[in-house]
Amino acid sequence: MANRKSRSWHLTGFGIDHLILGEAPLAEPGNRELLVRVRAVSLNHRDKLILDGSLSPALSFPYTPASDAAGEVVSTGPGVRRFRTGDRVTAHAVTDWVDGEGPPLLHEKMLSAGLPGVLGEYLVVHEDAAVPAPKSLTDVEAATLPIAALTAWSALFETARVMPGETVLVQGTGGVALFALQFAAAAGLRPILTSSSDEKLARGRELGAWQVINYRTTPDWDEAALGMTGGGGVDYVLELAGGENLPKSVNALAVGGRLSLIGILAGVESPLPTVAITRKRIVLQGIAMGHRKAFERMNRAIEATSLRPVVDAIYPFEKAPGAFERLAKGPFGKVVISLA
Amino acid sequence: MANRKSRSWHLTGFGIDHLILGEAPLAEPGNRELLVRVRAVSLNHRDKLILDGSLSPALSFPYTPASDAAGEVVSTGPGVRRFRTGDRVTAHAVTDWVDGEGPPLLHEKMLSAGLPGVLGEYLVVHEDAAVPAPKSLTDVEAATLPIAALTAWSALFETARVMPGETVLVQGTGGVALFALQFAAAAGLRPILTSSSDEKLARGRELGAWQVINYRTTPDWDEAALGMTGGGGVDYVLELAGGENLPKSVNALAVGGRLSLIGILAGVESPLPTVAITRKRIVLQGIAMGHRKAFERMNRAIEATSLRPVVDAIYPFEKAPGAFERLAKGPFGKVVISLA
Amino acid sequence: MANRKSRSWHLTGFGIDHLILGEAPLAEPGNRELLVRVRAVSLNHRDKLILDGSLSPALSFPYTPASDAAGEVVSTGPGVRRFRTGDRVTAHAVTDWVDGEGPPLLHEKMLSAGLPGVLGEYLVVHEDAAVPAPKSLTDVEAATLPIAALTAWSALFETARVMPGETVLVQGTGGVALFALQFAAAAGLRPILTSSSDEKLARGRELGAWQVINYRTTPDWDEAALGMTGGGGVDYVLELAGGENLPKSVNALAVGGRLSLIGILAGVESPLPTVAITRKRIVLQGIAMGHRKAFERMNRAIEATSLRPVVDAIYPFEKAPGAFERLAKGPFGKVVISLA
Amino acid sequence: MANRKSRSWHLTGFGIDHLILGEAPLAEPGNRELLVRVRAVSLNHRDKLILDGSLSPALSFPYTPASDAAGEVVSTGPGVRRFRTGDRVTAHAVTDWVDGEGPPLLHEKMLSAGLPGVLGEYLVVHEDAAVPAPKSLTDVEAATLPIAALTAWSALFETARVMPGETVLVQGTGGVALFALQFAAAAGLRPILTSSSDEKLARGRELGAWQVINYRTTPDWDEAALGMTGGGGVDYVLELAGGENLPKSVNALAVGGRLSLIGILAGVESPLPTVAITRKRIVLQGIAMGHRKAFERMNRAIEATSLRPVVDAIYPFEKAPGAFERLAKGPFGKVVISLA
């Protein structure tokens, strides 16, 4: 394998015009590392923010984007015990977070942050940063999981510990939101979905939404949510918008309700309605992805419930820039780049 | 209502021959009490043990059996705030356990223990010991919930806090077991069902069992369960048999696995394999019904998942003794007495 | 007792000048109620806000202030089982919150909110709203517990579940803060205390503060707290100021840190630094007093650790207005009115 | 360092006569490994069982015993980030358990199990298997922590989550028991200590026992414990004896009580009183050491509470066999071998 090359996309500057397809010698897997033939890469909103320079203004170039990949182990370095050649794997973006408490984000051991991204033909990862891909999913589907699905799973099941019958308000139809909607429906919860698009809400109903609210036509969506729960309030909110949206989320919550605040989308600051927080004894928790153990538990749940990720569009590797353009337009579901 | 009478069944001694239909003046509901026109009563294994004298040898007669009833509020005493005339309710057998930590069982505030049973045309209960019947269930179905369903729910969701994708081993096809099977399936878990009857296992599959084991033809059912989980072990066991069964349950568990030990069926003593318990850091928890708040959460989940209790047979009120005889024969699902 | 009278203080309008000592016939304890001879009443910041009209502008007069009382049971109504004549008790201000999830505050079943206050010679309470006073405390000390101590206890031990060795940042030297400081020290934690007064900080050290910060002379107290923890951040913050203070509290927290937001002092709205909340996966929880079960657990801990509440000043019943004036001046410890 | 030698004790067969002092070339620390100059080694009951052949009959010789060591980092391999030369460290016996769920015991990555033991002048450990020694402890004291203290800490604070004021029954005066007693006292709990020796109980009182019971002179020690808690029962039992002791422990527990079953001392099987377990909803949890994160939290608590481990006797390295003999005689506190 020593003479083989690996092609990968990298940024030489901010903006889609600086996304270049290049080639480099294939690295050898080191101690306890895997060499993975990448089969699919999915994009996240975060990748768009990096591309346009708004998330990491001090990025050093060249930079390989994207953190979510699925593929096949083609060789293993010394000491590898968890995988064998031929295994289908998904990379875990926070490579050093195996279980328990995690590091603060964004940190040096995250793919496409301190570590290079995954948008190439081959990927070298430590075996502790890989999980078996769900048998029930295609490579394209498996590639959608590392950030969006794991964030939703960690919020719902690892921290908020939702239970069947609870009402869960999910905001919007981004990647995290759709996974949260599907997980909630599969676990016997009652998801309420909000969006500014009736068409997206209709598709959300097909994915299991119990109730839907168009927040454009119903600006007092919090009151609408209260009404849907007989005035009692929702048990849990997945807060994905932040800013002025947060006080409404708190208003929609039941006494003892919980709210997960999701990373990058939530803006820099929100007003916190402290009286309502204390009066109703609300628990608000910041969420930033999850650990590998949670990833494995999630994959098991995906297999058990036959959940299929929503894929908006698939682009061939050579047309990766098109995937970034699609991402910017507000897709319904994940945008994936295929290297099959 | 002062002159009306209420018929009820009562034991004048142990054994089915001493189950007598009698009549008494209708009581008035006192402070914060409800008068309920009973529409359906379901039986539990416990009722059989009381009837034949094996559970409470010192029972004082006459004794009205059964603890699980659903019906309609026909009048309310002073101070009632939670219900109105016409409401459909289910009685909560542990009448003074509203939330939080509970009293030890069997205790003086339990229906058909310290308090009279419910097998009559009318029932007076404190409003704090009633919950709204699920709208999605008939009276017959709602009457199956108070002990069997609430015990299963409390074990799975209030204490063990199972999550989607986990494997759950449910022992047998009694009342608690079938509810546990249905709840587990509705919540995205993977239930493994054991029974000595292939026919019952086939019906269990229809209710959502992921795998089934006939423990008669596969006495090493624990090893079979280990095999089904790739050698890793099941995440959770609902232990319903006790005795020599417990060490096998522990053997079937994964590292970090949990086991709920359910009340009355589990015998007086089991051997505890302490090495396996400590080596795998097993959590074993005794379960004895649940609180009213859990009952309400369960009903919400039943509505959200459209779960329908399995009813084995329905007997008219006048033929209640037939229901006890059916109960003794190992029904598949709940045996209910209807007063519709 | 039918002809006896009970004196009590009541407001006929807002302001200390409208606090009047009156007299009324002594009530009889009803079903499951206790008649308590009040021995001591303590004041909270909340009482000041009510007195001056800033908390409850629509208050109806006459209004008996104060919610925290200790005394002796002098007679019991029918059905009382938990107490006997002669028992020393403390009233639980949220009278209907026994265990588990609680009602939202301020609600109709709270003393000196929906129910009358306690600043009189006698008090009638339901037996479910009383707890035995700690044997290790005087009546004056026991009267300090219901709001300030229970809020601190619930925040630290019932919700945040702090453990020995953790660093706990406590803001200010109000009633809740001093109890939190004492509890934290008694439980093997490392309390960091903030105040604008070096003198109060010195007294805080005597009560067990591990480190102290004068936030007037050290406006970047959050950075100071980070420094005290070797840059890692504090494990837990008891947020008592709110407003612009909250972002600093979040900055002072460790990855995975927790913050309890305490009721009435925290202002109406705070800016929430969402990036830091998500990056460090902070848990923020609203706290509003606690349940009776927690009160009982707290009293047990007070006895076990020989903790003595800090009493700033004691006023005789006839000079109750002086206690309110003292309260307005920022006491160090609780202001108590004695009826001994 | 290449030519230096390291002396260490090893077994060439079972029994104290086969404990031999040998010498071998000093190993170099590999990738992310530390070379530690051992300053002190403490023994556990487990080491005695291994020595006499009762725990691991199939042990392969030569075998270096002991798992608990403290010392100083003298050199570091490539990639080490957590430590520097000169740091005082304690080894973590379960070398690959960093946080979250752990592996089953006894496993291949445990010191003196799958990995060599620590009873030598030098030790090579992965940096992830070391924790900074508490600054407040001597090397001899720090060496007592890895198994006994961490097991007690994990049982009390990481799993049972005890809180101040709770009653904790600690059985005996072995290594785990004494740490549990000291931790409980330092955290504001009420420890009840049992022993067959009045002299040891007297020393237990000095270490903070609230009550003591001589189970030889009071065979119904469970009833005695119930009496000490006013009949309510203890909140938590640290079960260290197992066998016929377990039913008594369960009898001594309060409704909702918890019991931690500790590893190796608990025998192979205990009778489990299932009726009491379910009636009182007891939680029984198997404990086998803890993770490194817990070790770090424990050390922080040791520093915060100025807790000093109880050291029974210190033997010089050359007289290590004497330490094993002392261990067999039932010391009060830890037996330590010093290499200072």
Contact A286 C279 (CB under 8 A): yes
- Whether residue D133 is found in the same domain as residue D98: yes
- B292 lies in some domain: no
Q: Would you state the structure tokens that stand for residue D197, as one six-digit string?
A: 């020796």
What is the rounded distance in angstroms from the CA atom of residue B19 to the CA atom of residue C334? 64
Average pLDDT over residues A124-128: 96
- C65 shares its domain with C188: no
CATH number at residue B104: 3.90.180.10
Mean pLDDT score of chain C, rounded to an integer? Answer: 95
Averaged pLDDT, C62-91:
97
Chain segment C269-293, per-residue pLDDT in tens: 899 999 999 999 999 999 999 999 9
**Tens-digit pLDDT profile for residues D7-25:** 999 999 999 999 999 998 9
Q: Which residues of B make CB contacts under 8 Å with C?
A: 31, 98-101, 291, 293
Q: In the prediction, which pLDDT does C56 show?
A: 85
Cβ distance A67 to A28 under 8 Å? Answer: no
**Residue D303 located in a structural domain:** no
- Other CB atoms within a 10 A radius of the CB of residue A114 amount to 12
Q: Is D180 a residue whose pLDDT tops 90?
A: yes
Q: Chain D residue closest to C303 (CA)?
A: D165
Test A271 with C272 for CB contact under 8 angstroms: yes
Nearest residue on chain C to B31, judged by CA atoms? C31
Q: Quick one: pLDDT at residue C105?
A: 80
Q: Is the pLDDT of residue C267 over 90?
A: no
Are the Cβ atoms of A188 and B189 closer than 8 angstroms? no
For position D269, what pLDDT does the model report? 86
pLDDT for the residue numbered A57: 86
Return the closest-CA partner of residue C50 out of C335, C264, C322. C264
- Chain A neighbours (≥3 Cβ pairs under 8 A) are B, C, D
The angle at the Cα of C88, spanning C87 to C91, to the nearest 5 degrees, equals 115
Helix boundaries (H) for chain B: 45-51, 139-142, 150-153, 175-186, 198-206, 221-228, 245-252, 274-279, 292-305, 320-328
Q: What is the pLDDT of residue C104?
A: 86
Structural domain count of chain D = 2
**Does any domain span residue B27?**
yes
* Helix/strand/coil (H/E/C) assignment for every residue in D50-99: HHCCCCCCCCCCCECCCCEEEEEEEEECCCCCCCCCCCEEEECCECCCCC
If asked whether residues D125 and D160 sit together in one domain, one would say no
Q: Is residue D138 part of a domain?
A: yes
Indicate the DSSP class of residue A173: S
Pairing mode of beta strands B283-287, C311-316: unpaired
d(CA A131, CA A154): 16
- In sequence order, what DSSP letters do the residues of C244-287 get, joined into one string? THHHHHHHHEEEEEEEEEETGGG-S-EEE-HHHHHHTT-EEEEE
d(CA B324, CA B44) in angstroms, rounded, equals 9
CB contact under 8 A, C101 and B31: no
Question: Nearest Cα to D130, choosing from D67, D83, D64, D74?
Answer: D83
**Structure confidence at residue C223 as a pLDDT band (50, 70, 90):** very high
**Which of C163, C236, C303 to substitute to test the interface with D, most D CBs within 10 Å?**
C163
Answer yes or no: is pLDDT of C139 > 70. yes
Interface contact flag, C301 D210, Cβ < 8 Å: no
For residues B302 and C261, give the distance between their C-alpha atoms in angstroms, rounded to a whole number.
35
CA angle A265, A269, A275 (to 5 degrees): 115
Q: How far apart are CA B6 and CA B332, in angstroms?
A: 31
Task: Give the nearest partner residue to D305 out of C164, C304, C305, using CB atoms.
Answer: C164
Q: How far apart are CA B103 and CA D255, in angstroms?
A: 7
Q: What is the pLDDT of residue B4?
A: 84
pLDDT at position A197: 97
In A, which residues are within 8 Å of B296 by CB distance? Answer: none
What is d(CA C247, CA C255) in angstroms, rounded to the nearest whole number?
A: 15
Question: What 3-state class would DSSP assign to B234?
Answer: strand
Q: What is the pLDDT of residues D127-170, one digit of tens each?
A: 999 999 999 999 999 999 999 999 999 999 999 999 999 999 99
Q: Give the Cα separation of B166 and B235 in Å (integer).
A: 6
For residue B9, which amino acid is it?
W
Per-residue pLDDT in tens (0 to 9) along chain B, 340 residues = 456 899 999 999 999 999 999 998 998 999 999 999 999 999 999 999 999 998 888 889 999 999 999 999 999 999 999 999 999 999 999 999 999 998 888 667 889 888 999 999 999 999 999 999 999 999 999 999 999 999 999 999 999 999 999 999 999 999 999 999 999 999 999 999 999 999 999 999 999 999 999 999 999 999 999 999 999 999 999 999 888 999 999 999 999 999 999 966 556 889 999 999 999 999 999 999 999 999 999 999 999 999 999 999 999 999 999 999 999 999 999 999 999 8
Do residues A243 and A318 share a domain?
A: no
Contacts of D217 (CB under 8 A, 6+ apart): none
Q: Looking at residue B221, which CATH number applies to its domain?
A: 3.40.50.720
Distances (CA, A) of D199 to A82, A111, D177: 53, 60, 16
Q: Please list the alpha-helical segments (H only) found in chain D.
A: 45-51, 139-142, 150-153, 175-186, 198-206, 221-228, 245-252, 274-279, 292-305, 320-328
Pairing relationship of beta strands C33-42 and C334-338 according to DSSP bridges: antiparallel
| Dist CA D236 CA D165 (whole Å) | 11
* A233 min Cα distance to partner chain C (Å): 12
Whether residue D260 is contained in a domain is answered as yes
Contacts of B305 in chain A (CB under 8 A): 164-165, 188
- How would residue D223 be classed by pLDDT, with cut points 50, 70 and 90? very high
Q: C1 vs B215, C24, C33, C312, C340, CA distance in Å?
A: 71, 13, 15, 35, 20
DSSP class of residue A92 equals: -
CA nearest to C74, candidates C82, C83, C86? C86
Spatial separation of the C-alpha atoms in residues C72 and C94, rounded to whole Å: 19
Q: How many Å apart are CA B269 and CA D277, to the nearest integer?
A: 10
Reading the block at residue B313, the tokens are 């047979």
Confidence at residue C264, expressed as pLDDT on a 0 to 100 scale: 61
Average pLDDT over residues A95-118: 87
Does any domain span residue B61? yes
Closest CB to B269: pick one of D264, D268, D272.
D272
Full DSSP string of C100-146: SS-PPSS-TTBBTTTB----BSEEEEEGGGEEEPPTTS-HHHHTTII
* Closest by CA position to C311, among listed C46, C41, C67, C91: C41
> Is residue B221 situated within a structural domain?
yes
For D300, phi then psi, to 5°, come to -60, -40
Q: What pLDDT, on a 0 to 100 scale, did the predictor assign at position D55?
A: 85
Whether residue D113 is found in the same domain as residue D159: no
Q: Inspect the interface and report whether the beta carbons of D268 and B275 lie closer than 8 Å.
A: yes
Tell me which chain C residues have a C-beta less than 8 angstroms from the C-beta of B100. 98-100, 291, 293
Neighbours of chain C (3+ CB pairs under 8 A): A, B, D
Q: Let me know whether B125 and B9 are in one domain.
A: yes
Residue B82, C-beta contacts closer than 8 angstroms, at least 6 positions apart: B127, B128, B130
| Spatial distance between the Cα atoms of D16 and B19, rounded to a whole number of angstroms | 72
Q: What DSSP designation does D323 have?
A: H
**Among the partner residues C190, C210, C301, nearest to D188 by beta-carbon distance:** C301
Element (DSSP H or E) covering residue A256: strand A253-262
**pLDDT at residue B265, as a whole number:** 56
* Same domain as A280, residue A161: yes
Claim to verify: residue A157 and residue A233 sit in the same structural domain:
yes
Residues A78 and A131 in one domain: yes
Residues A116 and A236 in one domain: no
Task: Kindly report the nearest CA distance between residue A265 and chain C, in angstroms.
Answer: 9
Mean pLDDT of chain D: 95
Largest CA distance in chain C: 67
Q: Determine what percent of chain A is predicted with pLDDT higher than 90.
A: 88
- Rounded to a whole number of angstroms, the distance from the CA of C73 to the nearest CA of chain B is 24
Given a cut of 80, whether residue C3 has pLDDT beyond it is no
Which among B336, B292, B302 is positioned nearest to B317, based on CA atoms? Answer: B336
Domain that holds residue A55: 5-144+309-338
Residue A280 has pLDDT above 90, yes or no: yes
Which tokens in the block code for residue C63? 């209004």
In angstroms, rounded to a whole number, what is the distance separating the alpha carbons of residues B282 and B246? 12
Identify which has the larger pLDDT, A110 or C183: C183
Chain B residues touching chain A at CB-CB below 8 Å:
157, 161, 163-166, 183, 186-190, 210, 297-305
For residue A38, what pLDDT band results from cuts at 50, 70 and 90?
A: very high
- Per-residue pLDDT, averaged over C172-192, amounts to 97
Instruction: Assess whether pLDDT exceeds 90 at residue D287.
Output: yes
pLDDT of residue D264: 61
- Amino acid making up residue D219: P
pLDDT, position A74: 97
* Residue pLDDT, tens place only, C11-61: 999 999 999 999 989 989 999 999 999 999 999 999 999 999 988 888 899
B114 in the same domain as B61: yes
Chain A environment of D101 (Cβ under 8 Å): 99, 293
CB contact under 8 A, D186 and C186: no
The pLDDT score that the predictor gives to residue D106 is 66
Q: Which of D232, D156, D148, D233 is nearest to D187 (CA)?
A: D156
Q: In whole angstroms, what is the distance from residue A299 CA to residue A135 CA?
A: 9
Strands (E) in chain C, as ranges, are 5-11, 19-25, 33-42, 68-76, 88-91, 122-126, 130-132, 167-171, 190-195, 211-214, 234-239, 253-262, 270-272, 283-287, 311-316, 334-338
Quick one: pLDDT at residue B340? 87
Cis amide linkage into residue C273, ω under 30° from 0: no
Question: Chain D contacts of C161, Cβ < 8 Å?
Answer: 161, 163
- Interface A-D, measured as beta-carbon pairs within 8 A, has a size of 18
Best C96, C99, C293, C297 residue to mutate vs chain B (most B CBs within 10 Å)? C99
Q: Which two tokens stand for residue C223?
A: 């950075």
Per-residue pLDDT tens digits for C88-110: 999 999 999 999 998 888 667 88
Categorize the per-residue pLDDT at A267 as very low, low, confident or very high, splitting at 50, 70 and 90.
Answer: low
Q: How far is CA D26 from CA C50, C57, C172, D4, D74, in A?
A: 75, 79, 56, 6, 12
Average pLDDT, chain A: 95
Q: What is the pTM of this model?
A: 0.96
pLDDT digits (tens, 9 = 90+) for C287-339: 999 999 999 999 999 999 999 999 999 999 999 999 999 999 999 999 999 99
The arithmetic mean of pLDDT across residues A294-323, rounded, is 98
Considering the domain architecture, whether residues A252 and A214 belong to the same structural domain is answered as: yes
For residue D211, being part of any structural domain is answered with yes
